[in-house]
Amino acid sequence: MTSNPPDHSGPGDGSDHRPELESVADFERRARSWLAAHGRRRVPGSNDSLALFPEWERPESATWVDDARMWLTARHEAGFAGITISRASGGLGLTAEHQHAFESAESEYETAPDEIWAIGHHMVIPAIDRFGTAEQRRRFIVPGLRGDLVFCQLFSEPDAGSDLAGLRTTARRDGDAWIVDGQKVWTSVAHVAHYGMLLCRTDPAAPKHRGITCFLVPLDSPGVTVRPIRQITGGSAFNEVFLDGVVVPDELRLGAEGDGWAITRTTLNLERVSLSLAGPNTDPTRLIALARERGVAGDAVVRQSLADVVTRRRVTELTSARVTDVSRSGGDPGPLASTLKLLSTELLRTMGHTAALILGASLVADTGEWGTYAWGRQILETAGLRIGGGTDEIQRNVLAEGILRLPRDPRPATASEV
């Protein structure tokens, strides 16, 4: 876990690069010019990895956090950080479409794994911008945008993953502080984060969707223990976090006491959108090139499967554009965010099926050939994305109830009702 850096809070640099009416096209041209001058383009075929999560077991991971901080600092100083964050909080105050344009261009360049900052920039910082006090916005947003602070999300629990409102981690008021006890699981970057966005039950007598409060907890606090989780791939991209009598000052409470569920819903929608994949690991051209290399591009079944991937990718991109339009107009994507998340995971599942169809035994036998055995990792990790941000089954329930207006699932009986 990284120790807290000096406080660099305050308004950000690059204010000359925040034109209120700059078109997306002009913004993207300016961004691409900066990226070309300061970044290093990805070379197709230079990296065999198809991992969907950071491979922290790799030797080069030792420099990732420092590399990410240097990149984010440069990006902030150039005026490309906090694109959708309000100007009052140190952001650019532009639209989700501007952000998508920059991130699409940035994905063409080599950077430290964006998972290091994605949770902070896509979920935690927007939540602080919307729900935080003036002091919290001053203290956390610009340092987070610059890379001086890394954030993680402490939501899921061993018995409260898909049913997040059933969380059991508690926070008990003690004067001007709260005493937190509980456990969180499947936490990305917790081992390098400075703060965690923490959900706790503060009123055990309230209905389960109420009585939940959100905090920003320092992860170097006494009583916080972070342990890596070994996954099916052999790596450890996630952690479990134990909180044993952790003292959290009330000034680090985000939003009003008992209003945690409203923050949760907003953050989960942001998470579902951020988990929708449009990066290099879902680019159909790599699968097409693989089919040609293996000499099966003319096979009718393979061609049909490739066409399915291309179609799903395009539908996902169009749905992402719809979400962008809703967000740009100030609306709540709601069930549309669940649609996008579900389309993204189905795209990954279809890509894995197609890779298996093309590769056969080469998928599971490492012969050292580029672009063969590496697909196994993507297939295994797809299961994680079908769980993170709400399982596929939860997304379908959201669509059934929010769009089709079907009745809710029956509530399981409690022990007292049996």
152-207 confidence digits (pLDDT tens): 999 989 876 666 778 999 999 999 999 999 999 989 999 999 999 999 999 998 88
Q: CA-CA distances (angstroms) from residue 106 to 22, 36, 96, 279, 304?
A: 19, 10, 15, 10, 31
Tell me the catalytic residues: 271
Res. 338 pLDDT band, cuts 50 70 90: confident
> What percentage of the chain has pLDDT greater than the value 70?
86
CATH superfamily, region 154-260: Butyryl-CoA Dehydrogenase, subunit A, domain 2 (2.40.110.10)
Q: 27-77: per-residue pLDDT in tens?
A: 999 999 999 999 999 876 556 678 888 888 888 899 999 999 999 999 999
pLDDT of 272 above 60:
no
For 82, the token pair is 């906090």
Which residues, in sequence order, are bridge partners of residue 165?
Answer: none
Q: What is the pLDDT of residue 19?
A: 45
Task: Check if the beta carbon of residue 112 is closer than 8 Å to that of residue 68.
Answer: yes
Q: 390-414: per-residue pLDDT in tens?
A: 788 888 888 888 888 899 877 655 4
Nearest to 121 by CA among 97, 142, 95, 94: 142
Half-sphere exposure of residue 230: CA atoms within 13 angstroms, side-chain side:
1
CATH number of 275-402: 1.20.140.10
- In 10 A of CB 36, how many CB atoms? 12
pLDDT of 7 above 60:
no
Cα-Cα-Cα-Cα dihedral sign, residues 184, 187, 192, 195: negative
Please, what is the average pLDDT of the chain? 85
Angle at 93 between CA 89 and CA 98, to 5 degrees: 140
Domain 15-149 has CATH 2.60.40.10: no
Cα of 305 vs its chain's centroid, Å: 28
Task: Check if the beta carbon of residue 400 is closer than 8 Å to that of residue 392.
Answer: no
Please measure the distance between the N-terminal and C-terminal CA atoms of the chain and give it in whole angstroms.
45
Res. 151 pLDDT band, cuts 50 70 90: very high
Q: Which residue has the tokens 């059933």?
A: 166
In angstroms, the CA 377 to CA 348 distance is: 12
Dihedral, 223, 267, 269, 381 alpha carbons, nearest 10: -30
**Beta-strand relationship, 224-229 and 238-249:** antiparallel
For 262, the token pair is 């409203």
Angle at 236 between CA 356 and CA 118, to 5 degrees: 90
Domain ranges of the chain: 15-149, 154-260, 275-402
